[in-house]
A and B are shown apart, each in its own frame.
Chain A
Amino acid sequence: MPTTWAGDYTGTTTATWVSWTQTTTSATSNNYDVWPAWSSTTGTSYTTNYTVVNSAPPAYEPPTPEQQARWKEQREREEREAAEARARAKALLAAHLSSEQIASLAAQRYFEVVSQRGRRYRIRHGHAGNVTRLDGEREVARYCIHPTLDVPDEDAMLAQKLMLEACEDHFERIANVTQLR
């Protein structure tokens, strides 16, 4: 069904436009002939393109009890799998930290490592943007680097630790660095 306003643009609004431009400020009053010129050159194809699409939303159908049960089961399965993944990653990380690092992670949510080149880094609990380099006790640079797979945070932290200790150059080449001083 064609809209009424689209038809108005090509025809009946010409008089309105002229009237409006003549009654408005001087900055626009000289433009009263713009609209008739524009609308006469755009033609009817412009107006005929405007049709009202059937916009009635589909009727809402509440989920069936079977669907709800299936979704609940899926959500619970995903939560269970995520918890198991986190537990595995936590155990793997703990197996490769010193007792001091484990205690620091539990109390402060970070642990520190001495890198291949003897620099100190702090790895916070997280996945990306969680590594800082220390100068004394001051954090002087933040590094954003993370695995391309969506692994649990503890796995990302272990990968960051291993890289800093075994291939610091590679770590620095890949990481996005923000100087903090």
Chain B
Amino acid sequence: MGELSIMGRQGDTKIIWDSMRPDEVENARRTFDDLRKKGYLAFAVRGREGEKGEQITTFDPNAERLIMAPPMRGGR
């Protein structure tokens, strides 16, 4: 099972998929691609002890956990 957490105003929204089910994978991939087009940053993370994430640009159906953060900008 893979999990995609999308950060938003109401906290994160989760999309969970089973890599053996093409419809679920496709749904997660479509969401991932739509958000990437909007400038979201995507990270693949592993483990539960604060391990470093890895920035990704394409959807990985075999990923354990993905996090998508809204585009970032510099402040003043």
Q: A88-B10, A148-B71, A155-B7 are in contact. Are A166 and B76 (CB under 8 A)?
A: no
Interface residue? B62 (CB, 8 A): no
- Determine the residue in chain B with the shortest Cβ distance to A155: B7
Q: Mark B8-24, 1 if CB is under 8 A from A, else 0.
A: 11111000000000000
**Number of interchain pairs (Cβ within 8 Å):** 105
Interface residue? A15 (CB, 8 A): no
Tally of chain A residues near chain B (CB < 8 A) = 40
Distance to closest chain A CB from B48 (angstroms): 7
A150 to B5, CA, bound (A): 16
**Contacting residue for A147 out of B53, B54, B69, CB 8 A:** B69
A163 to B7, CA, bound (A): 14
Interface residue? A180 (CB, 8 A): no
Interface-lining segment among A45-53, A64-72, A95-103: A95-103
Q: Is the CB of A128 within 8 A of B75?
A: yes
Q: Is the CB of A89 within 8 A of B49?
A: no
When distances are taken between beta carbons in the complex, the residues of chain B under 8 Å from A6 are none
